[in-house]
Structure 1
Amino acid sequence: MSPVTAVAPAAAKALPQTWRAFDVAFASDPVCIGLARRITRAFLGLWNVNDELAESIVLAVSELVTNALAHGSGDVGFRLRYPDGELRIEVTDDNPTPAELRFAGDDDVSGRGLFLVAVLSRKWGVSEDGKTTWCIFRIPEGRA
């Protein structure tokens, strides 16, 4: 007799919907930008987010983590939450000066990160204490 007990499908109970989420803390090092992208891509794959939307989400993660490194101080906190239909990205550093959307000139080599986040995401913002920049992506039903 097998030590595994079989349960008939009719008797099986549906598991409650659980949040899909993760939190990561990085030392202030440019290497963490690529690491944040890889971690995000892996989780989005596990959560079956379609490739096109996943690329936009990964780009937003890259821009927010890059901003935290360039303008923040201390370690970088990175959180992704996907409870139900919306995916929320939060990146935190120790700098209380809030991130600001600005428009870069044609010859500027940087300054487009938050503009990209604003265009790609459904909504973005900064926490009251100025230390966390966040954005939200809507995941269409049946696409994840």
Structure 2
Amino acid sequence: MHAGGPRELVLRCTAERLRIEVSDGNPEPPRRRRSAGDGAGGHGLIVLQRLSRSWGTAPSGDPRGGKTVWVEVPCPPDPWGPWKAWGAQGPPTARGRSEARSGAS
């Protein structure tokens, strides 16, 4: 790896966003690298910029030095949100339809 490998990976999730933090021992900020021509590298910052809501770098809190690169991406809506209050079986109307089908067999 060009930065000597990550020292730490931190994931922070809220209902609105996922923040990913990767710390390494290299104090240099990330920069675009030329692709090797075989498509095998140099795309990390492009992907990060296109997929993220925001991103940045900060000095690492590690006494050995280094940096932390962070990125924030929006979290998709919770598809089970409306059903959570009813538990695994869903709301009473869904249970009634399910029971009617199983009783008709």
Q: TM-score range by the shorter chain?
A: 0.5 to 0.7
Q: Percent identity?
A: 37
Describe how 1:46-65 pairs up with structure 2 within 5 A: none
Choose from 33, 38, 58 the match for 1:127: 58
- 1:115 equivalent to 2:46? Answer yes
| Alignment TM-score, normalising by the size of structure 2 | 0.56
In 1: Cα distance, 2:18 partner to 2:42 partner: 24
Are positions 1:84 and 2:42 aligned together?
A: no
Q: Which amino acid aligns with 1:132?
A: T
TM-score when normalising by structure 1: 0.43
Alignment size in residue pairs: 75
Structure 2 gaps, min length 5: 61-65, 81-105
Conserved 8 A contact 1:98-1:131: yes
* Amino acid across the alignment from 2:30: A
RMSD (Å), alpha carbons: 2.6
Deviates more, 1:87-96 or 1:98-107: 98-107
Aligned partners of 1:78 and 1:91 also within 8 Å: yes
2:51 and 2:10 map into 1 onto residues whose CA distance is 18
Which deviations, in whole Å up to 9, do the C-alpha atoms of 1:95-127 show, x marking residues without a partner? 101112356475553101111111122222111
Gap runs ≥5 in structure 1 = 1-69
Which protein has the bigger helix share?
1
- Which residue of structure 2 lines up, in the alignment, with residue 137 of structure 1? 73
More strand by share: 2
Contact 2:27–2:59 (CA<8 Å) still a contact in 1?
no
